[in-house]
Chain A
Amino acid sequence: MLALAPDTLIMAALTIPLIGALLIPLFHNAPNARESVTLITAGALALTVWSLLPHVLAGGRPAAIDLAVVPGLNIAFQVEPLGMLFALVAATLWLVTSVYSIGYMRGNGEPRQTSFYVCFAIALWATMGIAFAKNLFTLFIFYEILTLSTYPLVAHKANAEAIRAGRIYLLILIGTSMVLLLPAIAWTWVLSGTLDFIPGGILKDKATPFALCALLALFAFGIGKAALMPLHFWLPAAMVAPTPVSALLHAVAVVKAGVFTILKVIVYTFGIETLAYGGSGSWLVYAAGFTIIAASLVALRKDNLKARLAYSTVSQLSYVILAAAILAPISAVGAAMHIAAHAVSKITLFFAAGSIYTAAHKTEISELAGIGRRMPWTMGAFTIGAISMIGLPPTAGFLGKWFMLSGAMQTGQWLPIAIIVASTLLNAAYFLPIVYTAFFEREPAAHAVGADAAHDHGEAPLPIVIALTFTAAATVGLFLFPEVPLALAKLMAGV
């Protein structure tokens, strides 16, 4: 832990990734030094962010920088519990992903690794900016930087498919944020005269329930990163990116930035009570519920492992939105918990998918028969991640669902309960067969005879195994020791 003043720590968190991004290109021709820079940067960032935690847990709301761009639009940062949680998750998992990336990028001989690591560092910088933003304007700036810095990562392979995916990615994410989110922010400003995140919201008695309903719709669909249907299809398209990108950015940083923003807007801009009182938020339960079920049904039919994981992500993201839309403080705790839980579990699953691709060059679920015996660590971690997705103890996924259900029961809303139960069954239906195939089916005999190089493989490179073992352990660890995220979530919801 660094014993520095909290505002210094915030400044550090907002500059360290940027310094890393500037240093990495200097070591273009020395891959070992270059990866060391990434690891040191990620380590320093994680240390900085963890050092902020005691201040926030003690009830502090440290702030840094307050720069008025034009009257009313300030670039300002303040750490509140939800942002703290998000920053902790992203910074910690960046360190793990950096270890993983080294194994993956080298193992697969990926091109343009320098620009890959640079974009990655900028994306993390943007994530810190989102997490610590004090107002909607600051958040919006970093939200767009995150989109723009991850675009080159999506189009990394530079083949026709990657370029097409990059187009969809940019068009949907920039499109929704410009056409819907920006007017929503401007409207909020016109209604309330401020864009700050304030506990209890800033829109109480400022607009009719109908106007609030429309404004919420602009936010919910304008924050395209939350992948609410029908604006979700950028996410499966983005799976052409190298797996570390899918793992950290499209299971953690980018999509979590989306649901994080929605949660923040509901809690700190609208205010849970303001929304609940007028009934303006009730439609969101249906939208999120539809996405949960529909995405799960699509996931059932996907044979490509990363595609199935992507649709599972779409579905899981809407859990967070659903939890927020229940509009009970205790379910907001569930939403925050689920952000952390889904992050560690889904990154484990993606790590496993990338591990299989690196070691066996397999991408389809139907090819995975018997692979559990060749790659026990990978598939073991995958199994833990899958259990967490379904939401069973002893994994982190259980906690989020528990609080969501409590909130729904407290407020007597039966629809969310039905949705959660139904989707739990669906999750089991598309994850358990993978585990079964991997461990209990025999490898096809034809392959055994051929005994080609691609087939005759063991575990993936060591950095990969270390990374996925760590995240799998964290998935269980978060269930056993949920104190930190739980304390932050409760501080946010005020319960």
Chain B
Amino acid sequence: MSAITAQLPGLQVVVPLLGAIIAAFMRRGTLAWAWATLITAFTPIIAFALLFQVWSNGPISYHMGGWPPPIGIEYRVDLLNAFVLVLVSLVSTIMMPYARRSVAHEIDGDKQAWFYAMYLLCLAGLLGIAITGDAFNAFVFLEISSLSTYVMIAMGRDRRALVASYQYLILGTIGATFYVIGVGLLYLVTGSLNFADIAARLGEASAAFPRPVLAGLAFLFVGISLKLALFPLHLWLPNAYAYAPSFATAFLAATATKVAVYLFLRIAFSIYGVALDLKALPVSTVLYPLSIAAMFIASILAVYEQNLKRMLAYSSVAQIGYITLGIALMNQAGLTGGIVHLFNHALIKGALFLALGAVMYRAGTVKLDDLGGIGRTMPLTFAAFVLAGMSLMGVPGTAGFISKYYLIVGALDAGKWPVAFLIVASSLIALLYIGRAVEVAYFRPVSQAVAHAKDPPLMMLVPMLALTFASVYFGIDTELSAGVASRIAELLIGGLK
């Protein structure tokens, strides 16, 4: 038993990675789905075991292949990435039962097994980014997850999915290039690729070569910002989310950008923050205006969007603005707000996109004007949409409120009361775009497209309702969300120089 326990960090990535390869050899879509579900179900078990170990015994260091760091690749699990691992693996597991019908509906039979192979590859990549303690290894996983994402998006039924995928491919590659240049600069000045090792040497290196160190930060910053869709580097996201298969959209929205945010936190707080004075570096200065612009501009774009999947995609850009705003605040409450929103938003957006996937499955469209009266023909689906939408707005008693509350207190603690007002004012825009959908769904006569629609089969309904329930539940019991997030924020801020 203890032999397996010692290998858990490695297994976290190896299991889905090998699973992906096996899935690629399968032909039957249903078989591949069953396989992918089984593999996915292993990952949260490992992640929870890791979280438990870290919670009781402190960080775990795992040496890949037995090579000690900084020569070999180190997997380093602390509270922050254990939290992200749990989030990513758990949300994926909840979503998997949903995938079968939805994927079978939207993707041709001979390509379904391929889709699941790509999905597992992407999952392995995301978990890899979250667990690795090596800057270059993170780049490799970043590419694994990105490449598989491009394929998943391109499998969308709409032909525009190809353009969306291509668009993302170009921008994603630019982002990855920026990231690797940043890593290269750090390697030049410190001679190391290990996060902890870089952090230990960076202070000295910065004294000798201040400019490459700063340039490295800039490259890393821009590269990761592209992946996490920080405004105005979000341009790839709306189309990618809108035209990807419904399941892929829900999966990516809940996990991919969150992992990128994690990488950002890791580099900002565990490398630069440990070695240098993070508050003196121009991180907050850049993040503040961009986050606030995201919160407002992307939300307003969402209000004018007809395609509900695109609407939620813009909303995601806005919500990422809240997360980065929390990072920019760099105080206990603010950072807690950012991290807890990473968690809450994954649940909320997962639920919302699953609901839209169900609409796609039954009505074949997510154009708002075609969906008149859908609240009456698909009552449970739209009830889930409304509840998760309330959580998105930040109605008290829902998970979204907890995030907003921490952010507001963080802004007030930092003495930035105008920022507190901007947070609440922008969340009001969410009322506009969710409310618009509610009006059409409940107060318009039943339209032709949805006349024969009904709630989706149980396998799709249960994951959707589970995530919806979670996005309300974590507004009342916050032990696992805000409790852990606040502990992480403490550790990150405590580690700052």
Asked if residues A179 and B428 are in contact (CB atoms below 8 Å), the reply is yes
- A75–B476 touching, CB < 8 Å: yes
| Interface assignment of A199: CB less than 8 Å from any CB of chain B | no
- B 435-467 binary contact with A (CB < 8 Å = 1; else 0): 100010011100000000000000000000000
Contact of A189 among B409, B442, B444 (CB under 8 A): B409
Measured in the bound complex, the distance between the Cα atoms of B435 and A189 in whole Å is 30
Neighbouring B residues of A166 by C-beta, 8 Å? 439, 443
| A152 close to chain B: CB less than 8 A | yes
A183 at the interface (CB under 8 A from B): yes
- A174 pairs with B431, CB closer than 8 A: yes
Q: Is the beta-carbon distance between B482 and A137 smaller than 8 angstroms? A: no
- Which chain A residue lies CB-closest to B410? A186
Q: Mark A174-196, 1 if CB is under 8 A from B, else 0.
A: 11001100110011011000000
Q: Select one of A152, A174, A190 contacting B428, CB under 8 A.
A: A174
Q: Looking at the complex, which one of B397, B406, B428, B443 makes contact with A155 (CB distance below 8 Å)?
A: B443
Q: Smallest CB–CB gap between A315 and chain B, Å?
A: 28
The bracket for how many chain B residues form the interface is 35 or more
Cα(A140)–Cα(B483), bound, Å = 22
B390 at the interface (CB under 8 A from A): yes
Q: Find out whether the CB atom of B408 lies under 8 angstroms from the CB atom of A144.
A: no
Q: Are B397 and A145 in contact (CB under 8 A)?
A: yes
Given A163-B439, A183-B421, A186-B412, decide whether A178 and B405 contact each other with a Cβ distance below 8 A: no
Q: Which residues of A contact B417 (CB under 8 A)?
A: 183, 187
| A4 part of interface (Cβ distance < 8 Å) | no
Of A48-56, A66-74, A353-361, the one with at least 4 CB within 8 A of chain B: A66-74
B408 touches A182 (CB 8 A): yes
A30 within 8 A of B: no
Are A144 and B478 CB-contacts (below 8 A) given A170-B435, A178-B424, A182-B408? no
A415 within 8 A of B: no
B402 and A69 within 8 A (CB): yes
Q: How far does the alpha carbon of A137 sit from the alpha carbon of B402 in the complex, in Å?
A: 12
Q: Does A167 sit at the interface, judged by CB under 8 A?
A: yes
Please state if B405 and A73 are interface contacts (CB–CB under 8 Å).
yes
Contacting residues of chain B (399-413) with chain A, CB-CB under 8 angstroms: 402, 404-406, 408-409, 412-413
Chain A residues with CB below 8 A from B425, complex form: 179
A190 neighbours in B (Cβ, 8 Å): 409, 412-413
B-facing residues in A133-176 (Cβ within 8 Å): 137, 140-141, 144-145, 148, 152, 155, 158, 162-163, 166-167, 170-171, 174-175
Top 5 nearest A-B pairs by Cβ distance? A141-B396, A158-B443, A141-B397, A186-B408, A190-B412
25 A-B contacts, Cβ less than 8 Å apart?
A69-B478, A70-B406, A70-B478, A70-B482, A75-B476, A137-B396, A145-B397, A155-B439, A158-B443, A162-B443, A163-B439, A167-B435, A170-B431, A171-B431, A171-B432, A174-B428, A174-B431, A175-B431, A178-B393, A178-B431, A179-B428, A183-B420, A186-B409, A187-B412, A190-B412
Chain A residues near B (Cβ < 8 Å) = 67, 69-70, 73, 75, 137, 140-141, 144-145, 148, 152, 155, 158, 162-163, 166-167, 170-171, 174-175, 178-179, 182-183, 186-187, 189-190
| Extra contacts besides A70-B402, A183-B424, A187-B412 (13): CB < 8 Å | A70-B405, A70-B482, A73-B405, A144-B397, A148-B395, A152-B442, A158-B443, A158-B444, A166-B443, A174-B428, A183-B412, A183-B421, A190-B409
